[in-house]
């Protein structure tokens, strides 16, 4: 299981590496895939626990699944940024 700290640290390492933008995007997409699988696992576990009376476990799994989904979105945005970096603002002299 990947923690938020680990994911954000890996994102930082990839962002600051001297690799090509395409390679950075591929590594970030691979990281996002593992988060997607993790979120799916939490969702399935929540569905199995939902039939029991343990609301705390169900709520915890819901939070963990939504956190993994949010991290996946962040990783995907980082991959897009690696491929298409924002152009620096233009300063026009009068």
Residue 59: CA count within 13 A, CB half-sphere: 4
CA–CA gap between residue 68 and residue 3 (Å, rounded): 9
Structure confidence by residue, pLDDT tens digits, 35-93:
999 988 988 888 877 777 677 887 888 888 889 899 999 999 999 988 887 755 556 55
Domain ranges of the chain: 4-82
Structure confidence by residue, pLDDT tens digits, 15-37:
999 999 999 999 999 999 999 99
Kindly state the helix (H) or strand (E) to which residue 26 belongs, with its residue range.
helix 21-49
CA distances from 45 to 4, 9, 49 (A): 20, 27, 6
- The pLDDT assigned to 56 comes to 81
């Amino acid at each position: 299981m990947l923690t938020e700290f680990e994911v954000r640290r890996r994102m930082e390492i990839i962002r600051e590496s001297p690799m090509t933008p395409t390679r950075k995007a591929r590594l970030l997409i691979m990281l996002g895939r593992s988060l997607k699988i993790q979120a799916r696992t939490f969702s399935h576990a929540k569905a199995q626990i939902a039939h029991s009376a343990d609301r705390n476990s169900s709520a915890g799994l819901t939070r963990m699944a939504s956190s993994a989904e949010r991290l996946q979105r962040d990783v995907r945005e980082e991959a897009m940024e690696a491929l298409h970096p924002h152009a620096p603002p233009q300063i026009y002299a009068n």
